[in-house]
Amino acid sequence: DAKTTQPNSMESNEEEPVHLPCNHSTISGTDYIHWYRQLPSQGPEYVIHGLTSNVNNRMASLAIAEDRKSSTLILHRATLRDAAVYYCILARSSNTGKLIFGQGTTLQVKP
């Protein structure tokens, strides 16, 4: 499975945008880019996913580099409830769709 690399931690101020980077230089053409987040003592929560084009939903935006070797999760206005561990994961369509989690980025949001 292709690997992703994320910073261990990031800080943000409340109500400011947050850009969470993810590198996936060995991504293959059939790999989807998924983002999930996890609050303490809870199961992960889906945030967004995409293949090639940038994606937007009510939670966030996903910007995918043209060569697909990196992507950025954008939270447009961070709130205290966005403090969580964010995981960037590649899901191969030919591989039952299982998700292998890396270490993720711990996002702290300061009031």
Partner 1 sequence: GAVVSQHPSWVICKSGTSVKIECRSLDFQATTMFWYRQFPKQSLMLMATSNEGSKATYEQGVEKDKFLINHASLTLSTLTVTSAHPEDSSFYICSARISGQVTGELFFGEGSRLTVL
Q: Which of 22, 84, 91, 109 binds partner 1 (CB under 8 A)?
A: 91
Candidates 104, 105, 107, 109; binder of partner 1 (CB under 8 A) is 104
Amino acid (one-letter) located at 22: C
Q: What residues have CB less than 8 Å from 87, skipping those under 6 apart?
A: 6, 35, 36, 37, 38, 44, 101, 102, 104
Instruction: Compute how many other C-beta atoms are within 10 angstroms of the C-beta atom of residue 91.
Output: 19
Closest CB 39 distance from partner 1, rounded Å: 11
Which residue among 4, 12, 20, 34 contacts partner 1 (CB under 8 A)?
34
The smaller minimum CB distance to partner 1, of residues 59 and 63, is found at 59
Shortest approach of partner 1 to residue 33 CB, angstroms? 10
Please say which residue, 43 or 111, places its beta carbon nearer to partner 1: 43
The gap between the terminal CA atoms of the chain, to the nearest Å, is 38
